[in-house]
DNA sequence: CGAGGGTTTGAAGTGCATCAAATAGTGTGG
DNA sequence: CCACACTATTTGATGCACTTCAAACCCTCG
């Protein structure tokens, strides 16, 4: 009972299902199950047959692929409220990437068949899904742009800006969500580059770094620095929060 | 009449509508109109109010955004059978990029309201749209990966491979679809870099370049060279053709 | 406390960008 | 059909950003 309630709350809090009816959410909760994964646990690997998709309750999961010569490409990092693996539905039920919990995480898995059923029978949900995909597509475009136009320090600054409430322009503290080496991977740079670029960012924008905590006195200054090389205007939060 | 028939054929040939019923296609054709654009013509600019979306009959269109400090980011290059501007439907009817015909092009425009109507009333079409978006999302992931793992020569090789029929592994000729400076922009590099990287590619894979024509003796050699740094396996055509 | 990962630093290399100039190519009006 | 003007492409020289390799440092967790 308790667990079931937890599931419902987590589902209701997710980006994909927050507008769904309570009945629908109960239905998902009934078929879903929550698992705790330790840091480093591989949830599935690229080209596995996909039967379920996942919703992060808390923690972080890295989605990645590997090249022939052993390099790793980070497709995404997902956290609370985000889903992964659902795209397999449109890819012959094959996962197109591997997934690894990069810290202890609670993750809900839900049968893809349920999603398929809703796509076939729930027009309202399908529209939600269309919007969801459209936002992700836009995010990907932004990321491609960032890779070619922003330098390493600007990418880090931009990453931080997306972690704060962009509305209040004053003083803020943020907490890097996971190990710096994963942030580096997410931003497409090497840990050494990350370290040096962060140092440069500190010098140029007066932010203070204490371990994983970042103190920002002046959000405006940070955005001036990072967003100069971006075509999106500053308050530019990733996914609409409300 | 003649024009109307042309429209129908073009729509039927498009990726998004090829599985649609004849009745649906007629309906689109009735509301659509075809325009010829000269090279350099701007179709719309970023943040314009979006009333219509576009389908390329022939030619090439560059979709791009601009940063504060004047750099240009190429979002995509689209050609025959591809659409653009339809994503505005999920972005408050605002175009999120600008569009420029980079060569003489015939382009069909269709009211977004028609698309909206179908989304609301045509479940089969909605599913097509879901699949369409999922493929695009996958392509974007691939492109992000390419930007961080492939060097300039490999990106050019990869670009060429996506222009050929990947099934026949023998000798092939291809034709660069548009000016080299646009290919460079599409691949996120400067024209000078493109030129030098192409030279290196020629040396390393024995392809021959005669103006815009590329002669490839050994597709396998080219894919060995380019796809080594990619996590997708070789026959890896962008959008399913059938 | 010690082992092992995570992070920083240094030195050196590589790849792409930049700036500048030469060359090739294309379309136009005469 | 030619010559000019303009644009695209190539080439050279140089600089900068990121990477690589190697080593030190630091942190934390058993």
Of B81, B85, B102, the C-alpha closest to B47 is: B85
Q: Which of A70, A112, A142, A148 to mutate to test the interface with B (most CBs of B within 10 A)?
A: A148
Domains of chain A: 2-145 (2.60.120.10), 150-227 (1.10.10.10)
Write out pLDDT tens, residues B200-211: 999 999 999 988
Cβ–Cβ below 8 Å for A133 and B130: yes
Q: In sequence order, what DSSP letters do the residues of B88-147 get, joined into one string?
A: GGGTTTB-SSEEEESS-EEEEEEEHHHHHHHHHH-HHHHHHHHHHHHHHHHHHHHHHHHH
Q: pLDDT class for A5, splitting at 50, 70, 90?
A: confident
Q: pLDDT class for B4, splitting at 50, 70, 90?
A: confident
Would you state the pLDDT for residue B210? 87
Cβ–Cβ below 8 Å for A188 and B147: yes
**A15 reaches B (C-beta below 8 A):** no
Other beta carbons within 10 Å of A86: 20
From B234's Cα to the closest Cα of chain A, the distance in A is 11
Contacts of A145 in chain B (CB under 8 A): 65, 73, 75
Residue B189, SS3?
Answer: coil
Is residue A150 within 8 Å of residue B147, measured between CB atoms?
A: no
d(CA A96, CA A90): 10
Of B46, B30, B54, B40, the C-alpha closest to B107 is: B54
Mean pLDDT for the stretch of residues B20-28: 93
Is residue B134 within 8 Å of residue A91, measured between CB atoms?
A: yes
How many A-B residue pairs are in contact by the CB < 8 A criterion? Answer: 128
Q: What is the pTM of this model?
A: 0.92
Is residue A57 within 8 Å of residue A106, measured between CB atoms?
A: yes
pLDDT at residue B183 tops 80: yes
**A9 reaches B (C-beta below 8 A):** no
Footprint of strand C on the protein (CB under 7 A): A 179-181, 191-192, 194-196, 198-199, 209, 212; B 151-153, 188-190, 192-193, 197, 211
Contacts of B137 in chain A (CB under 8 A): 87, 133, 136-137, 140
Q: Which of B47, B78, B132, B231 to mutate to test the interface with A (most CBs of A within 10 A)?
A: B231
pLDDT at residue B135 tops 70: yes
> Cα-atom radius of gyration of chain A, to the nearest Å?
19
């Amino acid at each position: 009972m308790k667990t079931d309630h937890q599931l419902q709350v987590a589902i209701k809090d997710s980006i994909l299902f927050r507008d769904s009816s309570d009945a629908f959410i109960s239905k998902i909760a009934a078929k879903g199950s929550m698992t705790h994964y330790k840091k480093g646990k591989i949830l599935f690997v690229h080209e596995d047959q996909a039967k379920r998709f996942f919703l992060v309750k808390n923690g972080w999961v890295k989605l990645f692929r590997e090249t022939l010569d052993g390099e790793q490409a980070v497709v995404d990092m997902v956290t609370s409220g985000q889903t992964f693996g659902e795209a397999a539905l449109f890819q012959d039920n094959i996962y197109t990437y591997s997934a690894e919990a990069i810290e202890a995480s609670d993750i809900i898995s839900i049968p893809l068949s349920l999603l398929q059923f809703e796509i076939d029978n729930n027009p309202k949900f399908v529209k939600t899904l269309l919007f969801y995909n459209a936002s992700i597509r836009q995010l990907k475009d932004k990321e491609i742009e960032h890779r070619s136009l922003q330098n390493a320090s600007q990418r880090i600054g931009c990453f931080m800006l997306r972690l704060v409430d962009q509305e209040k322009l004053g003083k803020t503290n943020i907490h890097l969500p996971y190990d710096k080496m994963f942030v580096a991977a997410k931003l497409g740079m090497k840990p050494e580059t990350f370290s040096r670029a962060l140092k440069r960012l500190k010098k140029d924008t007066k932010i203070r770094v204490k371990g994983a905590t970042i103190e920002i006195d002046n959000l405006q200054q940070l955005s001036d620095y990072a967003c100069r090389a971006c075509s999106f205007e500053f308050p530019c939060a990733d996914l609409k929060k409300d």
